[in-house]
Amino acid sequence: MAKSSKKTFSVLTNGIMKENPVLKLVLGTCPSLAITTMAKNGIGMGIAATFVLLGSNIVISLIRKIVPDKVRIPVFITVIAGFTTIVDMLLHAYLPDIYKELGIYIPLIVVNCIIFARAEMFASKNSVGMSILDALGMGAGFTIALLIIGSIREILGAGTWMGIPVTKNLFDPAIIMILPPGGFLAFGFVVAAIQKFSVLNVKNKEISSGCGMNCAGCAAANNGGDN
């Protein structure tokens, strides 16, 4: 019993630390760079993506035994797109400010590699309960990563955090950090810091392969599925 609860716990924490989707697996880089000009937006995007991830993981886990292997990719994409549309409409109706800030990146959750990767790698192979934990862990990891990058950019670039001025008497904000180049810089330095602290672990070398490989994996599977 103790062992199984430990495993359950590790599924939950896996996404936050060991396999952080943004900082370790380098998935979902587009929103991580685009909307992290403010810490608040990072949280908004993180929660929106977590909702889609949770919904799609639950549904895909439930239907995993009925969906034939050959058509699973289009089915997964449709499920994910369905939940993305729900989030889009909910944000539009109840949080118009966040909706305006995130703009086009909300519908683009549908092509976020994190969600598809979890559907393919986890939800289609595991029970509903485990899939929920996995979605929550991965979603939390995504949100935390966006919050970190967003905080760095907002503090350095605008001198505020969550809209509260923090560096008023310390230094003048460097506007470049909230502009596009700052996104690449902040992301680069955060990944470098993580690499620095986990340098003893040789396995982390894999980080250099980046998202290109993972997306290629998704797409290659996609190709096979459609045929």
Partner 1 sequence: MKEIILIAIAAVFVENFVLSKFLGICPFLGVSKKTSTAVGMGGAIIFVITISSAVTWFIYEFLLKPNELTYLKTIVFILVIAALVQLVETVMKKFMPPLYRALGIYLPLITTNCAVLGSALLVVEREYSLLNAVVFGFSSAVGFTLALVLFSGVRERIETNDIPMAFQGLPITLVAAALVSVAFFGFQGLFGI
Q: Is 210 in the site for partner 1 (CB under 8 A)?
A: yes
CB of 78 to partner 1, least distance (A): 7
If one asks whether residue 100 binds partner 1 (CB under 8 A), the answer comes out as no
C-alpha–C-alpha distance, residues 127 and 140, integer Å: 20
CB of 8 to partner 1, least distance (A): 30
Which among 112, 139, 115, 126 is positioned nearest to 33, based on CA atoms? 112
> In 159-209, which residue ranges form alpha helices assigned H by DSSP?
180-197
Cα distance from N-terminal residue to C-terminal residue, the chain: 44
99-105: long-range contacts at Cβ-Cβ below 8 A with a sequence spacing of 24 or more? Answer: 101/35, 101/38, 101/41, 101/44, 102/35, 102/41, 102/44, 102/45, 102/48, 105/30, 105/31, 105/34, 105/35, 105/45
> Is 91 an interacting residue with respect to partner 1 (CB under 8 A)?
no
Write the burial class of residue 138 (CB in 10 Å: 0-12 exposed, 13-18 middle, 19+ buried).
buried
Tokens representing residue 107 in the block? 């519908």
Q: Which of 11, 26, 119, 130 binds partner 1 (CB under 8 A)?
A: 26
**CA gap 211, 217 in Å, rounded:** 10
128 versus 204: smaller Cβ distance to partner 1: 204
Measured from the CB atom, is 166 or 193 closer to partner 1? 193
Selected binder of partner 1 within 62, 71, 184, 201 (CB under 8 A): 184
Considering the rule CB under 8 A, would residue 152 count as an interface residue with partner 1?
no
Among 71, 104, 146, 148, binds partner 1 (CB under 8 A): 104
107 contributes a contact to partner 1 by CB under 8 A: yes
Interface ranges with partner 1 (CB under 8 A):
26, 29-31, 33-34, 74, 77-78, 81-82, 84-85, 88-89, 104, 107-108, 110-113, 116, 176, 179-185, 187-189, 191-193, 195-196, 199, 205, 207-208, 210-213, 215-216, 218-220, 222-223, 226
